[in-house]
Structures are given as structure tokens and as C-alpha cells.
Structure 1
Amino acid sequence: MTAAYASDPARARGRRWPEEEMSFRSPFQRDRDRIIHASAFRRLKHKTQVFVEHEGDYYRTRLTHSIEVAQVARTIAGALGLNDCLTEAVALAHDLGHPPFGHTGEDALQALMAPYGGFDHNAQAIKIVTRLECHYADFDGLNLTWEALEGIAKHNGPVAGDLPYALADYDAEHDLELGTHASAEAQVAALSDDIAYNNHDLHDGLRAALFDEADICDLPMIGPAFAEVDRLYPDLDPKRRRHEGLRRVFAAMVTDVVETSRALLAESGAGSVEDIRHLGRPVIRFSDALWADLQQIRAFLFANMYRAPSVMVERERVTRIVNDLFPLFMAQPDLLPAEWRRNVDAQDEVALARSVSDYISGMTDRFALQEHARLTG
């Protein structure tokens, strides 16, 4: 049953460039489908989360992560009576703006772009879906609904202060009401991102042998989950034991969000999606107790995975790659592909830097490594 505070596709605010809608696909379904068919979405296949793309076929990529986030988001949206198509669209698009090499690549681009308006992956996602995807005859971008754009821009909450230029420029043309919370659907996408990466980072860290089950069984949620598996399945094969333990952690997070959010939504008295936007607080949350548990798990992962010696060596290497490519393209714009330099005045340093940033951020891990080797020898 659809809740009163769900986003109603029949009442969607429309697209920036008016289009005739379809009788057999809702506006939010079309948003989701356009994101899936976008070039930037396909490139997520060769962009990784923590490990660099060539390091192994079993680690999560941005694409597999986005699919996992969408699966979790659909489940939670369905349990809460929300629009699952809008939820899925925001979930699938939430990482479109990430550059190569995960958060390491983003850190490098943020520093390089500081004099030119900044870089932020959420703002870059907005630029991709409103401008950089150039396939349609009538408009640049994907011409998504206002609700989808709002969700991509502020699924993590209201956006204030000094905005990255990519978001500020678009918002000046098409007001996304950045000072309010997003729809409950977009909030579900944000929490589903947390659930997915908390789960799969544990799994990838174990697979990479950065730690083992004995190391994580002292952590909240994880220890009890593995204890239950051992009780139910004594002497279970280690691979199956790992899977059974982590799937229980995964289920605990999903269940907690559904139960906590259901209570918050009921308490809010919200009767429309506009009520959700103007409540002044999120309505999709973990419970305080589970959030405290997750902070312990994240602290463990930070120390033992994100800052593991082998990962730090790779972080330094890929940071050098981004730091080499950016000034090289700035000094020699002719090295950019023709489509990237066609509309850029090489004498306009800011415009050139933003074009270079767009080009580098769109690279996959593999292509960035290949281009660096080709251009620097």
C-alpha cells in the first residue's frame, strides 16, 4: 500500500525540458531506465570502491555496489510504502560522479580543483545527468524529473554553505530547493548506501586477508551473528560460515532501518512528500543503538582496511597519477580528446580546469592507468 507521504509520479514536478510521458512507464520508471542506459553508469563497472580495478575480480566495483544499493533501497521502500522506482533511480545514480580510484581519486581532484570551484562527486553526478551525457536530440543530459535530480543532489541531507560550482551553477538555473531535506525515497537511497558498503567492505576486507573472522567477532552485531551461525551450523565450511555470518549483519541493518523509520514516519504526522521535505529532520534512520554499533565497525574498517599498509601504498600511487594528469592536460590542452577541447577556450583557465576535471573524473581506473602510462612514459 502506497503511503500518503510517498512521491506520486502522477504529481511529479516535471522535467526541465517538457516531454510527453508514456502510458506504460511512469516518469520515475523512465528516470531509472535512462540512468541504467547512461554511459557514465556503464563506466562504473571499472571504477572501484577501495581496491584499484586491476587488483582482483572479486572486489566490489562502483557498478556492483550501485546494484546492491538499489536492491536494498527497493526492499526498504516497499516495506515503508514509498515509490520504489524513484528510490531505485536515486540509488543507481548516487555514485555516477565518482572519479577513478574511489575516494582517493576524489580527494586528489578536490585539492586540484579548489582554485576552480571545487569538486564533489554528488555535484558531479548532477552535472553528468544534466549536461555531460549528450545522446538525446532535444537536450543535454538525461532530462530527469525534478524529484530524481533533487534526490541525487541532496540524498544525504540539505546542502548549504559554499557549493561546488557544478551544483551551484545548475541550481541557479533550476531550483532544487537545496536547503530542505529530500523525499523519503532519496533518504532511503542514502541509508541503503550505508548498509551496502558496511556489509561489502567487511566481505572485501576478509577476502583480501586484511583481517579475518576472529578479528571482527569482537565487534558489535558481528560477534552475535557469527555465534548464531556456529550454534545452528557447527563445523560449517569457513566460506559458508563467512557468508552466513555477514548476511545476518546485513539483515540486522535493513530490519533496523525499516523499524526505526516506520516509527519516525508515524510520529512525524507527515501527510505528503512536501511535509517530509519541510520537517527539518530526516525520517529514514538507523536506531541510536545500531548507529553506535556501526561507528565501532567503521572505526575498525578505517584502521584495518582503508588505512591498511597495502592500501596506503596504492593510495599514494593513484594520487600521483591524478596529480600528474591534471597539470599535464592544463599545460597541454591539445592532449585532450577533440570533444573535450572543442568548446573550451584554452586561455580561460577556469573553464579549462573544469573541462579537465570532467574528463579525468569520467575515466575508469583502467583507462586512467593506461593514459598515465601513455602520456608520461
Structure 2
Amino acid sequence: MPPSAGLAQLAPWAVRPDQSRGRLHPEAADLSRSPYARDRDRIIHSTAFRRLQYKTQVFVFHEGDAFRTRLTHSLEVAQIARAIARRLRLDEDLAEALALAHDLGHPPFGHAGEEALNGAMKPFGGFDHNAQSLKAVTHLETRYGGFDGLNLTWETLEGLAKHNGPLRRPAPFIAAYEARHPLELSTHASAEAQVAAIADDIAYNNHDLDDGLRAGLFTLEEAAALPLFGEALADARRRLPDMAPDREAPEAIRRVINRMIVDVVDEATRRIGALAPASVAEIRAAARPVVGFSQGMVALNQGLREFLWARMYRHWRVNRTTQKSKRVVQVLFSLLHGGPQMLPPDWQARAGEPGSAQCAHAVCDWIAGMTDRFALEEHRRMTDPDVPG
């Protein structure tokens, strides 16, 4: 590949684009982009990425235009990942690519949809959105004439498969893919993948807090009882005493995000200093991740998560949406698994015999690719006699 302008600035333990292990299907180098910038661009242009616009974080798409979707969440994760990678002298393009791809396998209706699909797929190996993300970029995308998937680099696929750590018991699809294209599942991923994972934690906790306040599920003063948020809110009010009330929450949340980023950079710098790695191979072989929160921030972040769990994810209004969403997925799976002739022709061919394992996996892939809106429309078409099929 051509030399990158940023190679000299990369840390010794960063992934180096000029030393990529390449792609499963060899391709000529792109003279204007590094391999990981090329991966990022392929992810952005994928069908799965576009569909994230109408896939839920917590609220279903029709509940309000201002709430996060999987797409806006992924963009926010990417921004945080680039900020952390830059400060740690890691490859920003790889961190960004992984951040943008990490939710490609999420089904409609967020975690409610995932739980419903996992339950339906229990007899056939279950459903895992991380494995589905890998499946999307290696198999389900059909944009290129020479191969299925996006033909991403080994480093991007490795980071996508194990950004949450080594996989001792990989999901069936990941295990099958490993047999074809080994990703060294028993080791940690690169520091860039670890950055993408921690950026996801930072983004969803803070932005779910923002969405919960916007939806009126709890008040600003109730959230201020959390030490992390309360300190940030007090600081914002002290520095900006004439601030309009509707700007207080955003000011506090951006301070919390910045504090978390600084904490991750400081903690990662400490861990890397203690490990003293000379290469990315030593990052992968380390006993624990080199990127993470400090112990103090782990406790503060856990308090935030517990608050969101109690006051938002289990709020009665959210519970209603969750149950309705699960029911939609369950009904779609049941009808299509027993009657794959209702699938489009190309998916019928994938499904094979009704009720079979092959059919279950095809139906699962079909449903997992749906947006919230399409799933609701399909449910109406298949269950309401007054709606044309």
C-alpha cells in the first residue's frame, strides 16, 4: 500500500495499515486510501448501514424524530472512538470503521428484537447481534461482483468478532467463519477494537440518559442524584449561571462524555506503560485489555447504568413497547419459518424446507435485516386481512 501520512505518528503498539494481513479475496491496493479507510467507506455505503437509520435504540422509530437510532448512535460512537484513538496514537480509520460496523447485526426494535430472535432461534444455535454483524459484512451484503460481503481486512473482521474480548465459546456463525478464515479468537483484539468497544459504552450510556430526559421518563434533578452527572450539572450551572433550562442537560452530558474520554485515555496510558508493548501482537497476547475505565470510573458508570435500567429500560412505557415489539418479531418468525413460501423468491431459495434449521437461519437473517418500520408493515401485511399482502 502507499505510505500513509500518519504512519510516523502511530505508536509501536498500533495496528499499521502498511502491515495489514489483507483480505480474504485479494484486491489491488487503493492509492488514495489506507486499507482501513477503505473498509470504513465500504461500511458506510453498505445496505446494512443505511438501514440503521430506522432501527431502534430504545424508542421505536415513530415515537419521536429527536431520539437516537442505531445510525445516529453509530456515528456518535465513531466520533468518540476517533477522539480516543487520536490521543493514544492508534489508527483512527480502523477504530472508526469498527465503531461504524459494530451494530450492523442488530435486528429491529433494539434489544427487544434481539431477545425475541434469540428465543425463536434457541433450537438452532440462538441469535447474537455481534455474530450477525460479522455475517452481514462477510456474507449477507451483496454489492460486489467477485465475492459475498464487503471483503474487509483481517484486522477489521478480527476487531468486529472479538471487540468485547477473546471468544472462548464463539457463536455458531463466528466459529464456522473461523474455520474458513482464522481470526485468532482466543486472543484480545487490537487496541483500536478495544477503543471502539469502550466508545460504545460511553455513547450509549450518555445518550440514553439524554433520550430518557427528553422523553420525560425521569427529571433532571433525579438524574442529578448520580454523582457523575450531578457533578457535571453543577459545573455547568456554575460556569454558565444564565444558561437556559433546556440547555442544562446537554451541557452536563457533554461534560460527562469528556470526563469519560479523559479517564479512558489516562487509564489506557497507564496500562500500556505497565505492559510496555513493542507491537500489536503484544496487545493481543496481554492478560487483559489495555483500554478501559479506571476503577473509579467503572463504579460511577455502573451507577449510571443501574439508574438507566431502573428508570428507563424498565419504565412502564418502555415495557409496553418492548412487549409489543417482541410479539411482532415472534409472529413474523413463526409464520415465515412454517411458511417460507411467503418470503421473496431469492429468500425462499435460501430457506429450503419449512420448519428446517436451514429455513430458521434464512428467516432469522431476513428479520434481522428489517428496520422497525418494515417489520411493523410486514406484520400488518401478514396478520391483518384488510391489509394487502
1:9 maps to which of 3, 17, 22: 17
Distance apart, 1:310 and its partner CA: 0.2
1:121 maps to which of 125, 129, 151: 129
Distance apart, 1:344 and its partner CA: 3.2
Q: Which residue of the partner structure matches residue 224 of structure 1? A: 231
Contact 2:340 2:354 in 1 (8 A): no
The number of residue pairs the alignment matches comes to: 376
Q: Which residue of the partner structure matches residue 149 of structure 1? A: 157
Structure 2 unaligned residues grouped into runs of 5+: 1-8, 385-389
Q: Which residue of the partner structure matches residue 139 of structure 2? A: 131
- Residues 260 and 142 of structure 1, relative CA distance in 2, 3 Å threshold: same
Q: What is the aligned-residue identity percentage?
A: 54
Q: Which residue of the partner structure matches residue 285 of structure 1? A: 292
2:252 maps to which of 245, 256, 261: 245
Distance apart, 1:347 and its partner CA: 5.4
1:254 and 2:261 aligned: yes
Q: What's the secondary structure of 2:227's corresponding residue?
A: coil
Contact 1:95 1:121 in 2 (8 A): yes
Contact 2:351 2:361 in 1 (8 A): no
Equivalent-residue separation in structure 2 for 1:242 and 1:345 (angstroms): 52
Of stretches 185-194 and 15-24 in structure 1, the one that deviates more from structure 2 is 15-24
Equivalent-residue separation in structure 2 for 1:345 and 1:250 (angstroms): 48
Equivalent-residue separation in structure 2 for 1:343 and 1:98 (angstroms): 21
2:203 maps to which of 193, 196, 204: 196
Q: What's the secondary structure of 2:151's corresponding residue?
A: coil
Q: Which residue of the partner structure matches residue 61 of structure 1? A: 69
Q: What's the secondary structure of 2:290's corresponding residue?
A: coil
Q: Which residue of the partner structure matches residue 41 of structure 2? A: 33
The one-character-per-residue Cα deviations of 1:262-296 (angstroms, maximum 9, x if unpaired) are: 11111111110111000121000100001101111
TM-score, with structure 1 as normaliser: 0.98
Contact 1:180 1:280 in 2 (8 A): no
Q: Which residue of the partner structure matches residue 358 of structure 1? A: 365
1:298 maps to which of 291, 305, 326: 305
Equivalent-residue separation in structure 2 for 1:206 and 1:47 (angstroms): 20
1:74 maps to which of 73, 78, 82: 82
1:187 maps to which of 185, 194, 207: 194
2:116 maps to which of 102, 108, 116: 108
1:85 and 2:93 aligned: yes
Equivalent-residue separation in structure 1 for 2:184 and 2:355 (angstroms): 31
Equivalent-residue separation in structure 2 for 1:160 and 1:376 (angstroms): 41
Equivalent-residue separation in structure 2 for 1:24 and 1:245 (angstroms): 40
Q: Which residue of the partner structure matches residue 166 of structure 1? A: 173
Contact 2:338 2:354 in 1 (8 A): no
RMSD: 0.9
TM-score, with structure 2 as normaliser: 0.95
Report runs of 4+ in structure 1 exceeding 6 Å deviation.
none
The one-character-per-residue Cα deviations of 1:111-138 (angstroms, maximum 9, x if unpaired) are: 1111112110010011110010011111
Distance apart, 1:248 and its partner CA: 0.8
Contact 2:131 2:174 in 1 (8 A): yes
- 1:257-336 matches, within 5 Å, as 257-336=264-343
Equivalent-residue separation in structure 2 for 1:200 and 1:348 (angstroms): 40
Of stretches 185-194 and 20-29 in structure 1, the one that deviates more from structure 2 is 20-29
Equivalent-residue separation in structure 2 for 1:172 and 1:116 (angstroms): 19
Q: Which residue of the partner structure matches residue 339 of structure 1? A: 346
